[in-house]
């Protein structure tokens, strides 16, 4: 059964296309997923199409994650007026430091913002100014048909086009923790569990036990290829197993539709397939890019459910993470030029 059918749509944006211009697999908007417990669901879960959580606790609310830019953050708040009008947001939780989960923090500078210590340290790794420059630069790159620079321009341009980074100021958490933390608001308990380093350096998941809801952040993607920026991959798998062990009735992923336990298992299967497929190439000295291409072109991949997931080329980023785990050189993501070269190679896999 599709869990989206069990959620009650409270307010919809009315968009007929996703931010990336695709046909939506579900309606964008605010859903009540359990009593006084909500998810802001954004189809189809591609770059920046990020799900948020909202938990009403009497006359206060807790927001889980914020948007990549202020425009989309304000849109979410406008559509949540029926909840936060009577129960204003008093606490914000960031599940990790990717900008599409925390760059809306500046709208809540007067509220308590909580994240892991590792996430708070990582949040300034990239800046809105860098992405504004990349938006501008991608237009120029598309005019350079040399060394796949034009492919990079199209890839990054498509990724960033819907977002407005002007005016965004990165605001780190005002309250941090390591390991585990409990936030209680008017008797409603939210359990924060650090599961990183995994997807990023400081991931956490948020469990609302009385409401039987868990918000996973980017530990879980549904219908979208997951990515391991930090690793180790084994920690992502352990975190997914932890999500399953909670036996929550509702699982809100960082991207994509509401999840079933089968969706969680499918992502575990993906990581197992990826590691077993890449390892022979790594032992043979094949580059991470070529190994990724071989995996994506394999019959086993094409016959798997993973082949239908959005952005299969993200395998390359996770392959580089695994190669580093295995002590192999990948070129890395260090510095602006290193990052551009990395995404140039990923763009090649997407074509």
Token code pair at residue 195: 């599961």
Mean pLDDT of 129-144: 94
> Global pTM?
0.97
Predicted pLDDT at 3: 94
Q: C-alpha dihedral over 239, 244, 248, 251, to 10 degrees?
A: 60
For 113-123, write each residue's pLDDT tens digit.
999 999 999 99
Q: Are 52 and 76 in contact (CB under 8 A)?
A: yes
Give the number of domains in the chain: 2
Look at residue 289 and tell me whether its pLDDT is greater than 80: yes
Q: Phi first, then psi: what are they for 247, rounded to 5°?
A: 55, 40
Predicted pLDDT at 176: 98
The candidate with the shortest Cα–Cα distance to 315, out of 328, 298, 327, is 298
Confirm whether 120 is domain-assigned: no
State the residue for tokens 């350096």: 201
Predicted pLDDT at 201: 97
Look at residue 298 and tell me whether its pLDDT is greater than 70: yes
Predicted pLDDT at 335: 64
Q: In the structure, what pLDDT confidence band is assigned to residue 112 with cuts at 50, 70 and 90?
A: very high
Predicted pLDDT at 331: 65
Structural domain boundaries, residue 323: 277-351
Confirm whether 333 is domain-assigned: yes
Look at residue 332 and tell me whether its pLDDT is greater than 80: no
Predicted pLDDT at 299: 96
138, 160, 182 - which closes a domain: 160
Give one word for 43, left, alpha or beta, with left for phi > 0 and alpha for psi -120 to 50: beta
Confirm whether 193 is domain-assigned: no
Burial of 10 (0-12, 13-18, 19+ CB in 10 A): middle
Confirm whether 136 is domain-assigned: yes
Confirm whether 31 is domain-assigned: no
Lowest mean pLDDT among 50-54, 137-141, 215-219, 243-247: 137-141
Predicted pLDDT at 55: 98
Q: Are 206 and 53 in contact (CB under 8 A)?
A: yes
Look at residue 334 and tell me whether its pLDDT is greater than 90: no
Confirm whether 265 is domain-assigned: no
For 161-213, write each residue's pLDDT tens digit.
999 999 999 999 999 999 999 999 999 999 999 999 999 999 999 999 999 99
Predicted pLDDT at 329: 80
Average pLDDT value for the chain: 96
Confirm whether 65 is domain-assigned: no
Lowest mean pLDDT among 83-92, 139-148, 248-257: 139-148
Predicted pLDDT at 321: 96
Confirm whether 256 is domain-assigned: no
Predicted pLDDT at 330: 75
């Amino acid at each position: 059964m599709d869990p989206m059918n069990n959620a009650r749509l409270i307010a919809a944006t009315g968009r007929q296309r996703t931010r990336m211009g695709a046909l939506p697999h579900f309606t964008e908007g605010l859903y009540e997923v359990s009593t006084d417990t909500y998810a802001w669901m954004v189809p189809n879960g591609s770059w920046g199409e990020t799900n948020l959580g909202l938990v009403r606790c009497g006359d206060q609310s807790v927001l889980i994650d914020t948007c990549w830019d202020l425009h989309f953050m304000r849109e979410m708040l406008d559509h949540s007026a029926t909840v936060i009008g009577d129960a204003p947001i008093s606490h914000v939780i960031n599940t990790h430091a990717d900008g599409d989960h925390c760059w809306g923090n500046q709208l809540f500078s007067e509220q308590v913002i909580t994240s892991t210590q590792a996430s708070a340290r990582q949040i300034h790794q990239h800046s809105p100014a860098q992405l504004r420059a990349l938006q501008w630069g991608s237009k120029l790159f598309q005019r350079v048909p040399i060394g796949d620079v034009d492919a990079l321009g199209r890839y990054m341009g498509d990724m960033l086009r819907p977002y407005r980074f002007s005016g965004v100021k990165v605001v780190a958490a005002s309250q941090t923790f390591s390991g585990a933390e409990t936030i209680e608001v008017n008797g409603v308990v939210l359990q924060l569990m650090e599961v990183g380093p995994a997807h990023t350096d400081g991931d956490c998941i948020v469990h609302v036990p009385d409401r039987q809801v868990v918000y996973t952040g980017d530990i879980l993607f549904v219908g979208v290829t997951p990515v391991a920026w930090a690793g180790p991959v084994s920690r992502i798998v352990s975190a997914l197993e932890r999500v399953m062990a909670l036996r929550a009735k509702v699982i809100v992923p960082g991207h994509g539709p509401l999840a079933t336990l089968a969706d969680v298992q499918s992502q575990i299967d993906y990581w197992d397939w990826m590691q077993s497929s890449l390892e022979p190439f790594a032992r043979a000295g094949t580059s991470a890019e070529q190994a990724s291409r071989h995996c994506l072109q394999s019959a086993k991949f094409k016959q798997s459910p993973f082949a239908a997931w959005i952005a299969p080329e993200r395998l390359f980023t996770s392959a580089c993470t695994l190669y580093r785990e295995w002590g192999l050189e990948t070129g890395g993501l260090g510095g602006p030029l290193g990052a551009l070269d990395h995404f140039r190679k990923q763009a090649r896999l997407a074509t």
